[in-house]
Chains A and B, each alone.
Chain A
Amino acid sequence: MSPTAPRAGRVVAVTGACTFLGGELLRRLEEDPTCEHVLALDVRPPPLGPRAGGKVEFVKIDLTQPTVDGELATLLERHQVDTFVHGAFLSHPTHAIEWAHELEDVGTMHVLNACAGVEPRRFVMISTTLVYGAHPKNPNFLTEDAELRGHRDSRFVNDKLRAERQVQRFAKEHPNVEVCILRFAPILGPTVSNMYTRFFSRPIAPVMMGHDPLMQFVHEQDAAFALAQAVRSNATGAFNIVGKGVLPYTTVLALLGRVPVPMPQLVARQVSKLLWATQLVGSPPSFLDFLLYLCVADGAKAKRELGFAPRLSIKRTILDFLGVAPEDGATDVARAQA
């Protein structure tokens, strides 16, 4: 239960250092006395706070380059990397599907190629609960050993799913490496930006007429804490990182003050296809399935084995997200109450 570092002064390498979770992890590692050196791997230097000490070293690594695995391997060898955190995944769906595939699926292959030779002590991967997929047969709470269904035509989800399958195979082939996969529920919060925060920032939101699935989120601070905890602890396997409680989708919209637009399924799919094709919205048509069916994960295993329990409820998470998104017609909650 008590997470202890095996030896003082370890070296952590983080891919995707410019993502929200990567940046939060860098900040937390800066303050962690057991951590000696941090390699921030990304295509551009991460924005560090002015208080940043000298721990973080930026190394430009582009996972879409064909020979990046050799580069990574020499880097890991030279710095004696103890823990590798792989978080170079997209938070928004993109139209550049070829590039996304190179980055997420093939990029993970490069990372694993490098790690297979060097064998760091610990490997932490950032994944999402979207890989379970929204399916009519899903139980109310998906445990970690549930089947990963992905989505039949979502590149955004399936690239992550393929990356996760590779990491699971790697874990089987390299029993010396502690492999830990964190599946985050959609992250909401005042500073994070991803598909869900964009979706909920719009004043109107589509509702699949007559359907109202339960939804689950995790607060950005809880998510960042969970990642830091996973880097510190010795737990292995997959973990769902989820917030407290669930709410129906329409209640989420009501709490956010967004105007629900009920649409029959056929209409919604066509409209969504059109909006996606014209690049007017950032959520692909396949996302509509997540407004139809449940995709809620169970966080009991993370609490038991990882020592992570969320601090903030779903309502608090939503209000916190709302509080600092005034530019889209939402109100600053604190200001409204003053």
Chain B
Amino acid sequence: MTDDDDTPPDADDWYGEADPRVPDASAVDFGLLGDDIYLGEEATIPAELGGSHVPSRGHREEAELRELERRMEQQRTPAFPIDLRRRLPLEGVWRRWRALAMWGRSDVVDDFGRDPRATARWEWLFEFLYSRWFRVEARGLEHIPSRGRALLVANHAGSLPYDSAMVMHAVRRDHPSRRDVRPLVEDTVFHLPFLGPIMNRIGGVRADPENAERLLRKDELVAVFPEGEKGMGKLWKDRYRLQRFGRGGFVKLALRTSAPIIPVAVVGAEEAAPMLGKVTWFAKNIGIPWIPVTPTFPWLGPAGLLPLPSKWYVQFGEPIDLAQAHGPAAAEDRLLVNRLADQIRTQIQQMIDSLLSQRRSPVLSAFLG
């Protein structure tokens, strides 16, 4: 629970010392002046009531005394609603309600809305999916730097973004420095009711070039899925065929912030939610681009949204330092940016193909591993 019920608000002064530029502004503005005004206004009330005289400055002390007396009387015989509140234990109820409402959330989130307590709350689910359900094998984690910025570029599949969650969890669980990956989430998922806010609380950030640049300049690990919506909308027959890599925004980003690109291949996500077809009719009305048709959805209702237990491999490739090779000014060269984006796409496709070729049979080993 939060501490604000036990400690005075001054005790958690984590936002720093008083600003030396303002010489004790709070004391001057809140206290003295405010009280003076209050008393001054109250002192004229007897005049309004009696209407006989206005107390001048000379009468002020008298007025203050009268005011004090009036307040003491009020304390002794309070007006009705105040009385009610004192008698009923509403105060305690309200404090308990506040404590209850703060359950599972912390009162400090980072700039992009990641809530450490909410993250910890969902940890068990990711751990279960990672080690039991998908039995993820992460390879090449040593390519991720233990400090400093990097841009993870991965393929995308499945109707729900399980792959970004698994990439995030792999680094947090198995990398020696336990770094947090900030996955960029496309708009359609980010603004989904319920799912969007949860993704935001556990570290997801809306895919926006400004957001990504800000995160990289803060030396964070950012995961980007350049296929975006097209990657999620792949049909079963197109599985593991990478789609166009957006407009190469991630290359521009890497060049501008001189962040190394780490290619990531995720294998298994396609089998977890094999999309046999998609229905666009009515989907726009409920705010999603299409309704997926999988072997289980919508036949089994909401339970059909659960992923099938396929066997997953996540391969992290060697970092590619584009900024060193081409310089940050290359971000303006559209032809070069597009060529580099396609180069990285090809590389990830090769990583996927080599992972797939290690499977013995195409369907059975997708689940048994």
Specify which chain B residues have a CB less than 8 angstroms from the CB of A50 in the assembled complex: 36-37, 40
Segment of A86-94, A136-144, A192-200 in the binding face: A136-144
Interface 0/1 of A211-251, CB less than 8 Å to B: 11010000001001100000000000000000011111011
* Cα–Cα distance between A66 and B38 once the two chains are bound (Å): 37
B75 at the interface (CB under 8 A from A): no
Specify which chain B residues have a CB less than 8 angstroms from the CB of A209 in the assembled complex: 193
Specify which chain A residues have a CB less than 8 angstroms from the CB of B6 in the assembled complex: 337
Segment of A166-174, A278-286, A307-315 in the binding face: A307-315
Q: List which A1-15 residues lie within 8 A (CB) of chain B.
A: none
Cβ-defined contact, B107 with A190, below 8 A: no
Q: Name which residue of chain B comes closest to A28, CB basis.
A: B29
Cβ-defined contact, A248 with B16, below 8 A: no
Interface 0/1 of A315-327, CB less than 8 Å to B: 1100110010000
Cβ-defined contact, B111 with A319, below 8 A: no
The answer to whether residues A214 and B113 also contact, given A140-B214, A248-B197, A311-B22 and a CB cut-off of 8 A, is yes
Q: Name which residue of chain A comes closest to B14, CB basis.
A: A313
Specify which chain B residues have a CB less than 8 angstroms from the CB of A261 in the assembled complex: none
A253 at the interface (CB under 8 A from B): yes
* Cα–Cα distance between A228 and B27 once the two chains are bound (Å): 17
Cβ-defined contact, B9 with A319, below 8 A: yes
The answer to whether residues A140 and B30 also contact, given A251-B109, A254-B102 and a CB cut-off of 8 A, is no
Report the interface size for chain A: residues with CB under 8 A from the other chain: 52
Interface 0/1 of B78-116, CB less than 8 Å to A: 000000010000110011011001100101110111010
Q: Name which residue of chain B comes closest to A225, CB basis.
A: B22
* Cα–Cα distance between A225 and B24 once the two chains are bound (Å): 12
The answer to whether residues A140 and B205 also contact, given A47-B37, A211-B193, A254-B102 and a CB cut-off of 8 A, is yes
Q: Name which residue of chain B comes closest to A315, CB basis.
A: B107
User: How far in angstroms is the closest Cβ of chain A from B231?
Assistant: 20
Q: List which B1-19 residues lie within 8 A (CB) of chain A.
A: 2, 4-9, 12, 14-16, 18-19
Q: List which A132-154 residues lie within 8 A (CB) of chain B.
A: 136-137, 139-141, 143
CB < 8 Å: which of B107, B197, B205 contacts A247? B107
User: How far in angstroms is the closest Cβ of chain B from A290?
Assistant: 15
A210 at the interface (CB under 8 A from B): yes
Cβ-defined contact, B109 with A247, below 8 A: yes
Cβ-defined contact, B194 with A210, below 8 A: yes
Specify which chain B residues have a CB less than 8 angstroms from the CB of A78 in the assembled complex: none
Specify which chain B residues have a CB less than 8 angstroms from the CB of A251 in the assembled complex: 102, 105, 107, 109, 115
The answer to whether residues A49 and B37 also contact, given A209-B193, A248-B109 and a CB cut-off of 8 A, is yes
User: How far in angstroms is the closest Cβ of chain B from A131?
Assistant: 18
Interface 0/1 of B197-226, CB less than 8 Å to A: 100110001101011001000000000000
Specify which chain B residues have a CB less than 8 angstroms from the CB of A312 in the assembled complex: 15
Residue of B5, B8, B107, B197 most packed against chain A (CB within 10 A): B107
CB < 8 Å: which of B33, B40, B192 contacts A27? B33
* Cα–Cα distance between A151 and B327 once the two chains are bound (Å): 41
Q: List which B208-262 residues lie within 8 A (CB) of chain A.
A: 208, 210-211, 214
Specify which chain A residues have a CB less than 8 angstroms from the CB of B95 in the assembled complex: 257, 331, 336
Specify which chain B residues have a CB less than 8 angstroms from the CB of A337 in the assembled complex: 5-8
* Cα–Cα distance between A211 and B111 once the two chains are bound (Å): 18
User: How far in angstroms is the closest Cβ of chain A from B14?
Assistant: 7
Cβ-defined contact, B22 with A255, below 8 A: no
Residue of B25, B26, B34 most packed against chain A (CB within 10 A): B25
User: How far in angstroms is the closest Cβ of chain A from B253?
Assistant: 13
Cβ-defined contact, B196 with A211, below 8 A: yes
* Cα–Cα distance between A235 and B241 once the two chains are bound (Å): 54
Cβ-defined contact, B211 with A136, below 8 A: no
Specify which chain B residues have a CB less than 8 angstroms from the CB of A254 in the assembled complex: 98, 101-102, 105
Specify which chain A residues have a CB less than 8 angstroms from the CB of B34 in the assembled complex: 191
Nearest first, the 6 closest Cβ-Cβ pairs linking A and B are A210-B193, A254-B101, A212-B197, A139-B210, A257-B98, A313-B15
Q: What residues make up the interface of A, taking CB atoms closer than 8 Å to B?
A: 24, 27, 47, 49-51, 136-137, 139-141, 143, 190-191, 209-212, 214, 221, 224-225, 244-248, 250-251, 253-255, 257, 259, 293, 307, 309, 311-313, 315-316, 319-320, 323, 329-331, 333-334, 336-337
What would 11 more interface pairs be, CB under 8 Å, given A49-B33, A251-B115? A140-B205, A250-B105, A251-B105, A293-B191, A311-B16, A313-B14, A319-B4, A329-B85, A329-B94, A331-B95, A337-B8
| 13 pairs from A and B in contact (CB 8 Å cutoff) | A47-B41, A51-B33, A139-B208, A143-B210, A211-B193, A221-B30, A248-B109, A248-B201, A250-B105, A251-B115, A315-B12, A316-B15, A331-B94
